[in-house]
Structure 1
Amino acid sequence: MSARLSDLHAALGGVLHGTGDRVVVRIAPLAEAGADAVAFVAHPRYRAALAGSRAGVVIAPPDLVADVLARSEPPAGGWACWESPDPYGTFARLTQWWRQHVQPRPAALGVHPTAWVAPGARVHPTARLGPFAVVEDGAVVDEDAELGAHAVVQARAHVGAGTRLGAHVVLGYDCRIGARGLVHGGTVIGADGFGFAPVPLPGGEGKRWEKIEQLGAVRIGDDVEIGANCCIDRGALGDTVLEDGVKLDNLIQIGHNVHVGRHTAMAGCVGIAGSARIGAFCTLGGGAIVLGHLELADHVHISAASVVMRSILQPGQYSGIFPIDDNRAWEKNAATLRQLHALRERLKALERRTTP
Structure 2
Amino acid sequence: MKKTNAFSCSLAELAARLGATLVGDGERRVSGLATLSDAGPEDLSFLANRAYLKYLPDTRAAAVLIHPAHVAECPATRLELDNPYLAYAELSRLFDPLAARPVAGIHPAASVADGVTLGQRVEVGAHAVIESGAELGDDVIVGPGSVVGADSSIGAGSRLHANVTVYHGVIVGKRAILHSGCVIGADGFGFAHDGAGWHKIAQLGGVVLGDDVEVGSCSSIDRGALGDTVIGDDVKIDSQVQIAHNVCIGDHTALAGCVGIAGSTKVGRHCMLGGGVGLAGHLTICDGVQVTGMSLVTNSITKPGVYSSGTGAMSNALWRKNAVRFKQLDDLAKRLTRLERSSRDT
Q: TM-score, normalised by structure 2?
A: 0.84
Name which of 174, 197, 212 aligns with 1:223. Answer: 212
1:174–1:217 CA contact under 8 A, matched in 2: yes
Provide the rounded CA distance (Å) in 1 between the counterparts of 2:116 and 2:40.
Answer: 52
Q: Which residue of 2 aligns with 1:138?
A: 133
Which of residues 83, 87, 93 in structure 1 aligns to 2:84? 87
Which of 104, 114, 117 does residue 119 from structure 1 map onto?
114
Residues 271-320 of structure 1 deviation map (CA, whole Å, 9 limit, x = unaligned): 11111111111111111111111111111111111111111111111112
Measured in 2, the distance between the counterparts of 1:339 and 1:63 equals 47
Judging changes above 3 Å, is the alpha-carbon distance between structure 1 residues 108 and 316 closer, same or farther for their aligned structure 2 residues?
Answer: closer
Contact in 2 for aligned 1:110/1:125 (Cα 8 Å):
no
Alignment partner, residue 297 of structure 1: 286
Matching of residues 137-286 of structure 1 within 5 Å: 137-200=132-195, 207-286=196-275
The one-letter code matched in structure 1 to 2:89 is A
Q: 1:2-81, aligned counterparts within 5 Å? A: 2-42=8-48, 47-68=53-74, 71=75, 79-81=76-78
What is the distance in 2 between the residues matched to 1:289 and 1:181? 25
Q: Distance in 1 between matches of 2:179 and 2:19?
A: 30
Structure 1: state its 5+ residue gaps.
72-78, 201-206, 323-329, 345-356
Contact 1:245/1:263, CA 8 A, preserved across alignment: yes
Q: Provide structure 2 residue ranges, at least 5 long, that are not aligned to the other structure.
A: 1-5, 327-346
- Give deviations 1:247-277, integer Å, cap 9, x for gaps: 0111110000000111111111111111111
- Deviation for aligned residue 1:341: 8.9
Q: Is the 8 A contact 1:308 1:321 kept in 2?
A: no
| Contact 1:109 1:125 (C-alpha < 8 Å) held by counterparts | no
After superposition, the C-alpha distances for 1:81-111 in whole angstroms (9 at most, x for unaligned) are 0111211100111111110xx3345424531
Partners of 1:34 and 1:105 lie apart in 2 by 23
Relative distance call for 1:164 and 1:308 in structure 2 (3 A) is same
SS at the partner of 2:56?
helix
Instruction: Give the partner amino acid of 1:162.
Output: G
| Rounded Cα–Cα distance in structure 1 between residues aligned with 2:301 and 2:121 | 45
Q: Deviations over 1:149-188 (max 9, x none)?
A: 1111111100000000111111111110000010001111
Q: CA deviation at 1:44?
A: 5.7
- Cα distance change of structure 1 residues 105 and 176 upon mapping to structure 2, 3 Å threshold: farther
Q: What secondary structure is seen at the aligned counterpart in 2 of 1:185?
A: coil
- Given that residues 257 and 275 in structure 1 are in contact (C-alpha distance below 8 angstroms), is that contact kept between their aligned partners in structure 2? yes
Q: Percent identity?
A: 42
Q: 1:45: Cα distance to partner?
A: 6.5
Whether contact under 8 Å (1:122, 1:139) holds in the other structure is yes
Q: Secondary structure at the match of 1:51?
A: coil
The answer as to whether partners of 2:31 and 2:95 remain within 8 angstroms in 1 is no
Structure 1 position 244, deviation (Å): 0.2
The one-letter amino acid paired with 2:213 is: V
Counterpart of 2:174, as a letter, is A
1:38 is displaced (CA, Å) by 1.7
- DSSP-derived class of the 2:109 partner: coil
Provide the C-alpha distance between the structure 1 equivalents of 2:164 and 2:106, rounded to a whole number of angstroms.
17
Change (3 A) 1:17 1:237: same
The residue that corresponds to 1:75 in the other structure is none
